[in-house]
Chains A and B, each alone.
Chain A
Amino acid sequence: MSHDHHNSVSVTVTVNGEQRTAEAEGRTLLVHFLRDTLGLTGTHWGCDTSNCGVCVVAVDGVPMKSCTVLAAMVDGCEVTTVEGLEGPDGLHPIQEGFIECHGLQCGYCTPGMMITAKWLLEQNPDPSEHEIRDGLSGQLCRCTGYHNIVEAVRFAADKLNNKEVSA
């Protein structure tokens, strides 16, 4: 990171495994840096008050609301967005779960929802319904009524757990 007077900051982040460097204003929000500067439009935004969670990305593996983080703050960090969920072997089980269980409708909240759900399963590989709901309580969805999102996360948990067992 280097300074150019007060306003311009050079930000280097490793996004989905790829190192990217770009200029940003000090005030540039991470969500805009990802979407407008780096062109990663899979991460959305839905409110201004860190309530809705559609902008969630993982910073050094931890989900954060990227509308409430300055791009400059993540200089040197690793960022994972929805575009980085899919691995060389195909879709992440969370992505599969959302498809298989009809965990999305308009798709707008889905990227943030999946990033948080993935972290939730890393913290708690076998969550109860209540634990899934609690873990996703900072993620709003207006379409699904959450029922199938809970199912989607359970699907992913089962798949991940079976994978461990068989491996």
Chain B
Amino acid sequence: MQVPAPFGYERATSVDHAIQLLEQLGPEARLVAGGHSFIPMMKLRLAQPEHVIDINPLAAELGTISIDGSDLVIGAMARHNDLLGSAVVGEHFPVLHDAERVIADPVVRNRGTIGGSLCQADPAEDLSAALSALHATAVIRGSGGTRTVAVRELHTGPYETVVGDAEMLTHIRVPIRNGCGSAYEKVERRVGDWAIAAAAAAVWMDGGIISDAGIGLCAVGAEHFVSTDAEAVLRGQAPSDDVIAAAAAAAAAGCNPTTDQRGPAEYKRHLAGELTARALRRAIARAQGAAA
């Protein structure tokens, strides 16, 4: 079996302690939460940090999912299964349950964390697309204090985020607005595989009109995991087959998939459109069901 290269193991006892350790140990230190993306990379020696800071003890501090004012707040240490098991998440944002059901497998979901997934920033990471569609924000803490960025702005490229060397993502905030419906659609080669392509759709309905929309795209090279073109098509429209088709076409046109063993680019582009349409239909139905 493959094994990681040697590293110094540290255990953080609080968020402040974790940040302090990051500052003290420098840029070759890495936070590890669930570790289900990062430890395999260490085993394959694609990642060789000098220090690993175990933040699992922060699960109590950062593992909760709650409503704070008009936001759903998800702690970065919430495990995938916590999100999937949360009734409040299902009530407001079924897209997150849709996505969680198809992220890896139940045992991995027991360990993997929301923050870890987002910070790993894999181009095929599902929650980045789902949370971007929901216009969620990320709360990032450093020794100088806390800042927030849109999840859409979190990723600067494959495996890269705006989270600094001595910062950590602590929470995700998802604004709760009336009339919301959302859904996630994914095609994978096999259950548990990374997406060939996936699409998240969120719509906010107001008097029969789509007042706002979010279209997240996963694994198809969409800038910031979203299709702002598709969102623009939807805003201000009454839902119809034509509007959905136009949004899907915009999503397909605007993405930039690459050919690999999951499929040729043209297939992935097709899926971007097809799955956007499917997710939109379900999101709209859910919004209308919620309104009824």
Contacts and interface: CB of A to CB of B under 8 A. Distances in A.
A68 B52 CA distance: 14
B52 A26 contact: yes
Contact of B108 (A7, A32, A65): A65
A81 interface: no
A56 B9 contact: no
Given A48-B2, A137-B191, A64 B7 contact: no
Given A68-B111, A72-B11, A137 B106 contact: yes
- What is the predominant secondary structure among interface residues of chain A facing chain B? mixed
B208 interface: no
A27 interface: yes
B67 interface: no
Interface string B191-234: 11000000000000000000000000000000000000000000
Given A65-B36, A70-B39, A26 B6 contact: yes
A70 B105 CA distance: 20
Contact of A62 (B9, B43, B105, B110): B110
Contact of A45 (B1, B8, B9, B56): B1
Contacts of A138: 104-108, 192
A73 interface: yes
Interface in B32-48: 32, 35-36, 39-40, 42-44
A110 interface: no
Most chain A CB inside 10 Å of its own CB: which residue of B7, B106, B191, B192: B106
A129 to B, nearest CB: 15
Nearest to A63: B107
Contacts of A75: 11
Given A7-B6, A116-B106, A138-B105, A50 B36 contact: yes
B239 interface: no
Contacts of A51: 192
B36 A26 contact: no
16 contacts: A1-B11, A7-B8, A25-B6, A29-B4, A32-B3, A50-B104, A56-B107, A65-B108, A69-B111, A70-B9, A70-B54, A72-B9, A72-B11, A73-B54, A120-B106, A137-B106
Interface of A: 1, 3, 5-7, 9, 25-27, 29, 31-32, 45, 48-51, 53, 56, 62-65, 67-70, 72-73, 75, 116, 120, 134-135, 137-139
Interface of B: 1-9, 11, 32, 35-36, 39-40, 42-44, 51-52, 54, 56, 104-108, 110-111, 191-192
